[in-house]
A and B are shown apart, each in its own frame.
Chain A
Amino acid sequence: MKKTTVSFAVLGALFAFGSQLAHAAPDWSKVPKRDIQVFHAGVTPIEWVMKKSDHSGRTGLTKGESCVGCHEEKGGLNFDMKRLAGKDLEPKGAPKTMNFPVAVQAAYDKDNAYIRLSFKAPTGGADASDKENDVKVAVMFANDKVTAAAGDKSVAGALVGCWATCHADARSMPGADDKKTKYTKDGAYELMQWKSAKGAKAVDGSVTDKRNMEGGTTGVKADGENKGGTYTVTFTRKLNGALAEGKAAPFGFAVHADHASGRFHHVSMGYTIGFGADGDIKATKQ
């Protein structure tokens, strides 16, 4: 073979190997875990959250308090679970497990953000309409233009997690149009989702005035494995859009367990994830 061809081949191999090193998966054993509870939220859209006669905690929100500020204590949830599981807030009947913990880890390097979620998926769900996927995991990141309406006041999206997309007229809510998806009045969320069906493509989308399951620009890759009921889902996406070095982004995540669909997911409240910045979750720099 000619010398130049061999040199090029060797150089090419070196480059390929080098780029692999630059985007290697983090050593997850060295990334700290934080347990975050996800819970079945029932029929509590943002309109309910902002109605004082339904949810007196609305007063906290208009004063700049976040959901987590009142509802998470000593790592556990502080809700009136009896009320949340009752017929008023969950007309279809509550799932057997109202809440469970998800271990969250996050890391990043120059180009990518890596987020890993592990949990034991509960059974006994109240809705089994997704025949293809036993479990789905979604993560949403809000940009700084998201707000939630509170009468004639406005509450920063960062306080309410994903709730700015949750509306009383969205599909699977009682009496809602089956075709109306999640939407947000202002701003946008970047959405990524892993589905457990074999060969399912990772979702790289967004939620604006409707939910878009594709067309995202974050290059989402998602891997999931199920070891005896314990799921570990790892997302890799670009450090762009709502995520940037030196910034903390508001985020939330949801698990659709036991073939659930629509509103029958267990959701987290809104937290912040910091990349070289302070946040509820501080991503480990690689």
Chain B
Amino acid sequence: MSDNASGFWAKLKRPSTKYSLLGLLSVGFISGIFFWGGFNTAMEATNTLEFCISCHEMKDNVYQEYKTTIHYSNRTGVRAYCSDCHVPKDWGHKMMRKIQASKEVYGKITGVIDTPEKFEGHRLEMATREWDRMKKSDSRECRNCHSFGAMDIEKQKLRASKMHKIGQDEKKTCIDCHKGIAHKKPKGMKEDDDE
């Protein structure tokens, strides 16, 4: 570390002789807004469908499966994208997930699931991880849009209304029954004989 009077760090540690405190604070504050906005924009860009399917592992497998489901296309035209289910919306949980996602970047670089066979081989592991995450959070991402309180049970078909009534009575969470709602179910799923 140089103790040079005109060194870079020395300059930063010295109080300003040219600019006012207000000026510095205002510039800092406004730059902060831009940088925070930029950071957020970059982060939200990693939540878009286009970003997710830029990896062929996603585009060729789970994206094709999701395209045949009700979360992709339905009567009311409301579409749930990858991040709606797989990335928490609140900032704290979202940041945690994004940090964990660096493992996925590593997996992409090392090609863990880069062929259909490798993907199928890992499907159970990946599905189970997501289901456990959703169960632990009481299906938090499902509740971004759905809730029992907002359901008009009378408008549902018998099949659905009876099962939802059982679900509410038994304090079940969405993912307990709705596994496979957007992607193919893996082979070799464990049976939970708790009912």
Contacts and interface: CB of A to CB of B under 8 A. Distances in A.
Given A70-B159, A73-B157, A52 B166 contact: no
A65 B193 CA distance: 18
B158 interface: yes
A254 B159 CA distance: 23
Contacts of B195: 52, 58-59, 62
Nearest to A74: B158
Nearest to A71: B159
Nearest to B177: A56
Contacts of A65: 162
Contact of A60 (B162, B179, B191, B193): B162
Interface string B156-195: 0111001100100000000001010000010001011101
Nearest to B176: A56
Interface centre among A59, A78, A151 (most CB of B within 10 A): A59
Contacts of B185: 53
A70 to B, nearest CB: 5
B159 A52 contact: no
Contacts of B192: 52
Given A56-B177, A78-B158, A152 B193 contact: yes
Contact of B159 (A51, A53, A58, A78): A78
Nearest to A72: B158
Nearest to A52: B191
Contact of A57 (B157, B159, B179, B189): B159
B131 to A, nearest CB: 11
A53 B191 contact: yes
Contacts of B191: 51-53, 151
A65 B162 CA distance: 9
A198 interface: no
Interface string B137-158: 0000000000000000000011
A70 B158 contact: yes
A152 B193 CA distance: 8
Contacts of A59: 163, 166, 177, 195
A69 interface: yes
A69 B189 contact: no
Contact of B163 (A51, A62, A70, A152): A70
B143 to A, nearest CB: 19
A12 to B, nearest CB: 58
A58 B194 CA distance: 12
Interface in A56-111: 56-60, 62-63, 65, 69-73, 78
A85 to B, nearest CB: 14
Contacts of A62: 195
Contacts of B189: 53
Interface centre among A51, A62, A63 (most CB of B within 10 A): A63
Given A53-B179, A53-B185, A71-B159, A63 B193 contact: no
A52 B163 CA distance: 13
B163 A56 contact: yes
Contacts of B193: 151-152
A73 B160 CA distance: 12
Contacts of B166: 59-60, 63
B115 to A, nearest CB: 23
Contacts of B177: 56, 59
A241 to B, nearest CB: 33
Contacts of A70: 158-159, 162-163
Interface in A136-153: 151-152
Interface string B56-81: 00000000000000000000000000
A-B pairs with the 8 shortest C-beta distances? A151-B193, A53-B189, A70-B159, A56-B177, A73-B158, A78-B159, A59-B195, A70-B162
13 contacts: A51-B191, A52-B192, A53-B189, A57-B159, A59-B163, A59-B195, A60-B163, A60-B166, A63-B166, A70-B159, A70-B163, A73-B159, A78-B157
Interface of A: 51-53, 56-60, 62-63, 65, 69-73, 78, 151-152
